[in-house]
């Protein structure tokens, strides 16, 4: 058996293992009992790995590896999304840098350029996912623009079109003047901006009771060019006499009516609201209800169209400035107030969106959402954590028809064809240039493409061969769990459920796991513009994939947002360090070193069953059985954070710090039979631990397992740990021994207190200390039976445990729950000098605390100091308070 290298190098081991796993076909679809099929949320084809992806993929791989080891049929489906707006924007920029525009080269050549871009840059994120160690089937990659997937998208559109679920209509949409396309409500990003509220006078055509004008308050005076009404609240009796009257919009010489509508908040501004039906969703609704004219004053670039005199040709900002100046010049500007408000922006380019009346394609969701709501209410689809269920249900209750058309070239072109000769229109599965109604050849296809989310909603079934009746679809649908972010519950999760129920009569997945949002160290959102994003590739290069993956899982708690501990260079935006990931790498090193120690001491080893020869053996095997049961339950219930944290605590604490240490004397100096049995126990424990750790830390565990001989767990015949059997809780139930655990834990507590006393007073680890324990009669009897163990492991001299034990002279006392432990240090420590030293430290700490408290009690300081300064002072006070309590406790030891 070749000795393990002294140091473990993830930069060498990890890539080598990936190649070995893939060459052996370990990532491909496996057969088994029960199904675990997972689809990766398709990243943008031109994207790169970010921390959200890293968290998502780490969770998925942990669950897939665990399920594979349990012998389930596993299929993890890889794929990328064509990302309509994102890709088109990138290709547009590339062409501009070459002095060309897409309008010059035309649609077909532009699409060729998009495909070229996709082929050149589309594999980046896939290779990065591979570097993470994700055991996904890279040989069966899907793409939302592939011929097979495009066929499925087209069928969905055509079926819904013919079933009356897709229609075309003129509605208000969120329009991006830069990307020149509609954006859904869910894709719009709100940003707080400093703005103004302008109060503008609209003269009445005929004065009423001496009232010559009404004053409207608006944040968007530029849209006044398209006003076709003024609204008041029905709950505003003072304005009732003006309802039905007409006002004159002087800037465009238009007479418009005053009416009442429930959309109006009587307390906002003056209570008079200008109504622009073509440029505001609420105004559109009021316009529909009151039959107002809809006037689009902007073109697709948010530039004022012809017919508005001096304002025509102006962009929104220019028009706003000019309109305000016109009203001021004509004595109709009453006042201006500052106002902070939230403005929608394009999630891709950051341009402020324009509510714009345009003709678009929509999905009528009323016929889809009822059943999609019910499967969640009934628990057929479950959200984890459970609180996200209400988020889903609330969104479904308020769901509006979905705008699915985008004014782009890159994407699935809407398969609707029109005849210019006879007016025929239909959605077709195959292209045509001949009208089937009149035979005319003046036929053209709709210019728009489908929203990217329209194609990705089919992800669980179109990736498995639908609409054909495939074996993959029969065996792997519905999928098991979808792991995704909370911000696409509406954009993606809900739409997947609706479409899957409609086309397959099945839910797309049984569980939805919503992972934590990864924030920067200061709690802000990670972003390129802020330069605070952490690059997972840099983390892996510095610490290894195991460390990154493990750290990410330990961050998962019931709290949704987590701060990632990393320091980033403000100039280069490169990673400096990540202390928590460094700690995770320390755990990788601990796994390697502990395993290497055991492996180096296996001379003469022969496989055999573990046995509880000593109290520590019985304790260890029982604790191991509980670790197996806990890890299994946690992974079954998606408690990934608890799994990661507890398995580290068990391995580092119970296995390394206690059991391996306690085994050393038998391993190094024991009789041959004694040595062989402890070898078998250690190999069995390590083998089991590597299996438990493998899903989250696949590389180091595979490397260790490969170096270990066969254990009593199985014949070690599997070629790789990743395809070896999971340690089933039933198999380990025989090892559970509550009595052994309780007795051993009692002795551990005594030994730990002795060790902490040594550390506190800087005593030699080898110096024997007398110990007396005051405890209950039952505990005293147990400890009496553990005397040899306590004395040997704890380097204890005289040892007494009794219910009536009294504190001997020269002892310090340590309380530990039901135990009061007296440790004699009088011969080794000058108690008087130590007491005097501690008293001086106590006096200084109390003086320092008094000063800090005076500062915090100063109202002037608290009012003027920066919040971070105050917080630092409070933290200092808390630290000093804890120090004082500790010093007092130590001084009492000498009483």
d(CA 589, CA 700): 9
d(CA 484, CA 40): 9
Q: Encode 156-214 in three state secondary structure.
A: HHHHHHHCCCEEEEEEEEEEECCCCEEECHHHCEEEEEEEEEEEEEEEEEEEECCEEEE
Residue 145's nearest CA partner among 170, 175, 111 is 111
Beta bridge partners of 382: 511
Helix (H, G, I), strand (E, B) or coil at 472: helix
d(CA 330, CA 248): 14
Residue 459's nearest CA partner among 31, 37, 22 is 37
The DSSP letter of residue 44 is B
- Residue 365 has a CB neighbour count (10 Å cut-off) of 18
Structure tokens at 469: 């009746």
Q: Are residues 852 and 876 in contact, defined by beta-carbon separation less than 8 angstroms?
A: yes
According to DSSP, the β-strands at 382-384 and 509-514 are parallel
With tokens 């990766």, the residue in question is 40
Residues comprising the binding site?
A: 528
Q: Where are the beta strands (DSSP E) in 607-727?
A: none
Beta bridge partners of 450: 405
Structure tokens at 116: 């070229």
The H helix count followed by the E strand count for the chain is 29, 31
Residues 463, 466, 470, CA angle at the centre, nearest 5°? 95
Q: Are residues 657 and 678 in contact, defined by beta-carbon separation less than 8 angstroms?
A: no
Kindly give, in sequence order, each residue whose CB lies less than 8 Å from that of residue 597, ignoring residues fewer than 6 positions away.
660
Question: Helix 672-693 crosses helix 579-599 at what angle (to 10 degrees)?
Answer: 150
d(CA 693, CA 554): 13
d(CA 613, CA 618): 7
Dihedral sign (CA 306, 307, 309, 310): negative
Structure tokens at 465: 């061969």
Q: Are residues 578 and 565 in contact, defined by beta-carbon separation less than 8 angstroms?
A: yes
Beta bridge partners of 858: none
Count of residues making up the chain: 895
With tokens 């729950």, the residue in question is 817
Q: Are residues 41 and 483 in contact, defined by beta-carbon separation less than 8 angstroms?
A: yes
Helix (H, G, I), strand (E, B) or coil at 361: strand
Question: Helix 640-648 crosses helix 51-69 at what angle (to 10 degrees)?
Answer: 80
Residues comprising the binding site for ATP?
A: 528
Residues 679, 685, 687, CA angle at the centre, nearest 5°? 100
d(CA 483, CA 501): 19
Structure tokens at 242: 């003006």
If 0-12 CB within 10 Å is exposed, 13-18 middle and 19+ buried, where does residue 810 land? middle
Element (H, E) at 620: helix 615-636
Element (H, E) at 258: strand 254-260
d(CA 230, CA 290): 11
Structure tokens at 893: 């030891």
């Amino acid at each position: 058996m070749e000795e393990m290298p002294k140091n473990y190098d993830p930069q060498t081991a990890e890539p080598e293992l990936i190649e070995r796993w893939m060459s052996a076909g370990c990532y491909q679809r496996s057969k088994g009992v029960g199904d675990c099929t997972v689809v990766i949320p398709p990243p943008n084809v031109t994207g790169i790995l970010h921390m959200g992806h890293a968290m998502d993929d780490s969770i998925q791989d942990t669950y897939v590896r665990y399920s594979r080891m349990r012998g389930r049929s596993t299929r993890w489906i890889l794929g990328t999304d064509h990302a309509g707006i994102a890709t088109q924007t990138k290709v547009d920029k590339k062409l501009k840098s070459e002095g060309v525009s897409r309008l010059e080269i035309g649609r077909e050549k532009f699409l060729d350029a998009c495909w070229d871009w996709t082929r050149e840059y589309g594999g980046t994120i896939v290779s990065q996912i591979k570097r993470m160690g994700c055991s996904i089937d890279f040989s069966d990659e899907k793409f939302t623009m592939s011929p097979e997937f495009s066929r499925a998208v087209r069928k969905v559109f055509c079926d819904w079109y013919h079933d009356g679920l897709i229609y075309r209509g003129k509605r208000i949409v969120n329009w991006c003047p830069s990307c020149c396309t509609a954006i859904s409500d869910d894709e719009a990003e709100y940003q707080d901006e400093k703005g103004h509220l302008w109060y503008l006078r609209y003269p009445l055509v005929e004065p009423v009771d001496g009232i010559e004008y009404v004053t409207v308050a608006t944040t968007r005076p530029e849209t006044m060019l398209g006003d076709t009404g003024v609204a008041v609240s029905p709950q505003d009796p003072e304005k009732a006499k003006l309802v039905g009257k007409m006002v004159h919009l002087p800037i465009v010489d238009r007479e418009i009516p005053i009416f009442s509508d429930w959309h109006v908040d009587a307390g906002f501004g003056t209570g008079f609201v200008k109504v622009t039906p073509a440029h505001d969703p609420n105004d559109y609704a009021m316009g529909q209800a009151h039959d107002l004219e809809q006037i689009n004053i902007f073109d697709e670039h948010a530039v004022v169209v012809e017919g508005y005199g001096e304002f025509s040709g102006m962009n929104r900002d220019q028009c706003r400035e000019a309109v305000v100046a016109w009203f001021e010049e004509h004595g109709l500007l009453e006042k201006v107030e500052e106002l902070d408000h939230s403005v929608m922006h394009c999630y891709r380019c950051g341009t402020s969106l324009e509510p714009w009346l345009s003709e678009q394609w929509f999905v009528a969701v009323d016929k889809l959402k009822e059943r999609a709501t019910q499967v969640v209410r009934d628990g057929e689809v479950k959200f984890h954590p459970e609180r996200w269920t209400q988020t889903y249900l609330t969104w479904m209750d308020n769901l509006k028809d979905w705008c699915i058309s985008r004014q782009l070239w890159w994407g699935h072109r809407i398969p609707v064809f029109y005849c210019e000769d006879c007016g025929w229109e239909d959605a077709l599965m195959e292209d045509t240039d001949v009208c089937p109604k009149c035979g005319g050849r003046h036929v053209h296809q709709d210019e728009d493409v489908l929203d990217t989310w329209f194609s990705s909603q089919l992800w669980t079934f179109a990736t498995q061969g639908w609409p054909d009746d495939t074996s993959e679809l029969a065996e792997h649908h519905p999928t098991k769990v979808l792991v995704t972010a909370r911000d696409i519950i509406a954009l993606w999760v809900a739409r997947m459920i609706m479409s899957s129920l409609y086309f397959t009569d099945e839910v797309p997945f049984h569980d939805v796991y919503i992972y934590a949002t990864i924030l920067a160290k200061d709690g802000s959102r990670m972003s390129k513009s802020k330069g605070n994003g952490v690059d997972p590739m840099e983390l892996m290069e510095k610490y290894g994939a195991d460390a990154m993956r493990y750290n990410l899982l330990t961050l998962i708690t019931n709290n949704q947002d987590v701060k990632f501990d990393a320091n980033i260079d403000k100039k280069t935006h490169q990673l400096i360090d990540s202390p928590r990931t460094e700690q995770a790498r320390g755990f990788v090193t601990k796994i390697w070193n502990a395993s290497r120690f055991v492996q180096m001491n296996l001379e003469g080893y022969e496989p055999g069953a573990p046995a509880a020869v000593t109290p520590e053996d019985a304790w260890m095997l029982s604790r191991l059985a509980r670790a197996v049961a806990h890890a299994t339950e946690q992974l079954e219930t998606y408690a990934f954070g608890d799994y990661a944290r507890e398995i580290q605590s068990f391995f580092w604490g119970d296995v390394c710090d206690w059991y391996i240490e306690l085994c050393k004397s038998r391993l190094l100096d024991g009789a041959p039979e004694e040595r062989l049995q402890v070898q078998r126990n250690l190999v069995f424990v390590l083998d089991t631990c590597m299996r438990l750790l493998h899903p989250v830390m696949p590389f180091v565990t595979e490397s260790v397992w490969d170096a270990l001989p066969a254990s009593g767990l199985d014949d070690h015949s599997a070629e790789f740990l990743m395809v070896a059997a999971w340690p089933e809780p039933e198999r380990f139930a025989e090892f559970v021994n509550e009595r052994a655990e309780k007795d051993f834990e009692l002795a551990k507590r005594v030994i730990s207190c002795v060790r902490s006393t040594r550390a506190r007073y800087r005593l030699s680890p080898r110096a024997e200390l007398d110990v007396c324990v005051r405890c209950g009669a039952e505990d005293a009897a147990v400890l009496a039976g553990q005397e040899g163990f306590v004395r040997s492991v704890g380097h204890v001299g005289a040892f007494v445990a009794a219910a009536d034990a009294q504190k001997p002279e020269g002892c310090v006392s340590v309380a530990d729950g039901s135990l009061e432990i007296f440790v004699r240090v009088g011969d080794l420590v000058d108690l008087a000098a130590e007491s005097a030293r501690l008293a001086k430290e106590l006096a200084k700490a109390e003086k320092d605390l008094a000063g800090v408290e005076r500062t915090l009690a100063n109202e002037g300081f608290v009012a003027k100091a920066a919040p971070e300064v105050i917080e630092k002072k409070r933290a200092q006070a808390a630290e000093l308070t804890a120090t004082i309590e500790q010093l007092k406790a130590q001084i009492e030891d000498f009483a």
